[in-house]
Amino acid sequence: MAEHALITGGAGFIGAHLARRLLDEGVRVTLVDDFSRGRQDEILDQLALRATLVRHNLTEPIPEGVLPKDVDTVYHLAAVVGVQRTADSPGRVLRTNVLAASNVFDWCDEARPGTVFLSSTSEFADGAAQSGLASFPTPEDVPFLLARPHSTRASYALSKAVAESMLMYRAGQTRVRIGRYFNVYGPRMGHSHVIPQFIGRILAGEDPFRVYGSEQTRAFCHVDDAVTATVALSRLPGDEPVLANIGDDSREIRIADLARLLLELAGVSPRLEILDSPSGSPERRLPDLSTLHTVLGARETVPLEKGLRQMLDWYGAESW
Ligand SMILES: NC(=O)c1ccc[n+]([C@@H]2O[C@H](COP(=O)([O-])OP(=O)(O)OC[C@H]3O[C@@H](n4cnc5c(N)ncnc54)[C@H](O)[C@@H]3O)[C@@H](O)[C@H]2O)c1
């Protein structure tokens, strides 16, 4: 009998890429999503031919019979994501992400999948970084703290910290795997993150070209590499819970240089207009990937230029 995976948030960016990878490997896949973000598009139509799609709002408990119980691995990715959404509705972010995790893990208590993977975030470490308590590259055992606990931005990190603990308390009952994603990018990631925002404005011919937080640095991870890491982490044998940063530390880049690289790849040269950083955004994010390297061994990752070229092609072909 083929392995059976359940992906919550499977209509979203990382979820759909993960579903495609697992299906290509012959895994049976069930996706559950409320489609609040995951769009009904060609990619989802293709997935629907090979996977089972279930519509359910995970802030509600999962009724008996809605999801199949013969699941080997649950990948819990459903969440409200994005800086803008967090700024607009911090209460919704906190409520949705905590309730969804709680309902999914309660369902797992009954269904007893062998492994539960939780998608957590680099933002777990941002409070410590802002307080000078994180080193770079940042390991997983960084303390969790909120420099400004009641700021709108804190709600997302807080929701993920709660979800991490809820899952960790279940270690022994299921194999616990937690991945903290660091700046994952790739086709179909939406329009709210820095790379698609730059691309949208390049395609619109913006001149002068606005660059917010030009001196901040990030290390971007292509979604194919994030999916490889997610699957490898989930399949890691052993009953001990595993928490690993998921990212790509091969190239840390200043935001101004990211803009220059994208403009160069697009073959345009507007004047750069350097503007202040968005409020509350961290100066630096760089994962310590020692744990991941232990799991995956040495591996090649998608070079940034190649990934950005793919993004320019993909978003160029999409109508904005
Ligand atoms: N993309 C990144 O760089 C990144 C970084 C850190 C963490 N993550 C985490 O990875 C996961 C996937 O992120 P993504 O970028 O693919 O986001 P995404 O928004 O594209 O996908 C999330 C999916 O969850 C679904 N969803 C939201 N609320 C739901 C609900 N109440 N019930 C059912 N489904 C619901 C959405 O419709 C969407 O399809 C999230 O948990 C996110 O917090 C992503």
Q: What is the pLDDT of residues 3-52, one digit of tens each?
A: 999 999 999 999 999 999 999 999 999 999 999 986 778 999 999 999 99
Record the pTM: 0.98
In this prediction, residue 299 carries a pLDDT of 86
Query: What residue spans define the domains of the chain?
Result: 4-317
Residues 215 and 258: beta-carbon distance below 8 Å:
no
Q: Calculate how far, in angstroms, residue 90's C-alpha sits from the geometric centre of ligand 1.
A: 15
Ligand 1 pocket mutation pick from 75, 77, 92, 222 by most atoms within 8 angstroms of CB: 77
In this prediction, residue 320 carries a pLDDT of 52
Q: Return d(Cα 320, Cα 315) in angstroms, integer.
A: 8
In this prediction, residue 319 carries a pLDDT of 58
| Exposure string over 40-68, b if 16+ CB within 10 A, otherwise e | eeebbeebeeebbbbebbbbeebeeeebe
CA nearest neighbour of 139 among 162, 164, 122, 119: 122
In this prediction, residue 225 carries a pLDDT of 98
Location of structure tokens 């160069």: 264
CA nearest neighbour of 259 among 304, 314, 302: 304
In this prediction, residue 296 carries a pLDDT of 87
Handedness of CA 70, 118, 225, 292 (dihedral sign): negative
**Quick one: DSSP state of residue 144?**
P
Instruction: Name the residue at shortest CA distance from atom 5 of ligand 1.
Output: 181
Q: Please, what is the average pLDDT of the chain?
A: 96
Ligand 1 pocket mutation pick from 81, 197, 227, 233 by most atoms within 8 angstroms of CB: 81
Q: Calculate how far, in angstroms, residue 256's C-alpha sits from the geometric centre of ligand 1.
A: 27
Identify the CATH homologous superfamily for domain 4-317.
NAD(P)-binding Rossmann-like Domain (3.40.50.720)
Q: Calculate how far, in angstroms, residue 264's C-alpha sits from the geometric centre of ligand 1.
A: 31
Residues 86 and 153: beta-carbon distance below 8 Å:
yes
